[in-house]
Amino acid sequence: MPTQLDVENQCFEFGDEWTIAFKYDDTDFYRREATKLQGVIHPIPHSTKAVDLIGVHRVSGMVLLEAKDFRGRRIANKPRLEGEVSVEVAVKARDTIAALIGAARKPIAEFPSGQLVDALKPGKDVLVVLWLEDDTFRDAAKAKATLGTLNQRLKSLLSWLNVRTFVLASSVPNRINHLTVTNLPGAGRPKP
C-alpha cells in the first residue's frame, strides 16, 4: 500500500516498491536523541539537522529527501537559490546519516534503524534529493538550469559520502522511481 507523507505544501506518495518511507524529522528519536548536540559548542551555534523524509526502495536504494517550497517568498529566498540551500541539504544529509548509525546502536522501535544502516552499506545506492519549488520555475529551461547548478553544488559538497544527488521540482521530469509528488491546497502561497 502506498505511503503518503505531507511536507512543505506537497504530498509525497511512495508507491508499493518502497519498503520504508517515513518523516524522519518528525520522529521522537530525532527530536529527543539526535538533537542532543543543540548548542553544545558555545559560542559557536550548532545544532543537529535532519532531512524531511527517508525511504528505501526495493531496487533504487535509500533516499534522503529534503523538501523546500520557496513559492511566494522569492526575494527572501534568493540567496538560498544561489547556493545556500545546497549547503543546508548537505548538512542535513550528513547529520541524518550519523544519527541513523546512532539509532542502530540503540533499541529504537519507531523506525527500522538496522534496515536503514544496512541500506547504507557499500555497493548500495544512496540518493540525496532536494525537492525544490520556486515561482521562477514556470519556465522549464530556466528551472532546469537552476536545478542543475544547485545539484552540481550539492554533488560537490557530498562527494566524500559517495551518494547520488538530485535537485528536482514539479516543473522537470521526476527521476525517482515510484514517487509521485502533488501540490496540497495552499501550495504556492506564502505562509502567514
Q: Is residue 116 part of a domain?
A: yes
Q: Which domain does 135 fall in, by range?
A: 18-169
* Residue at 178 is within a domain: no
pLDDT at 44: 54
Which segments of the chain have a pLDDT < 50?
Answer: none
Is residue 184 domain-resident?
A: no
pLDDT of residue 112: 96
In a domain, 192, yes or no: no
Domain assignment present for residue 34? The answer is yes
Write out pLDDT tens, residues 24-78.
Answer: 999 999 998 888 766 655 555 567 899 999 999 999 999 999 999 888 777 666 6
Asked whether residue 181 is assigned to any structural domain, the reply reads no
C-alpha–C-alpha distance, residues 138 and 152, integer Å:
21
Look at the pTM and tell me if it is higher than 0.75.
yes
Task: Provide DSSP, 98-111.
Answer: HHHHHHHTS---SS
Count of domains forming the chain: 1
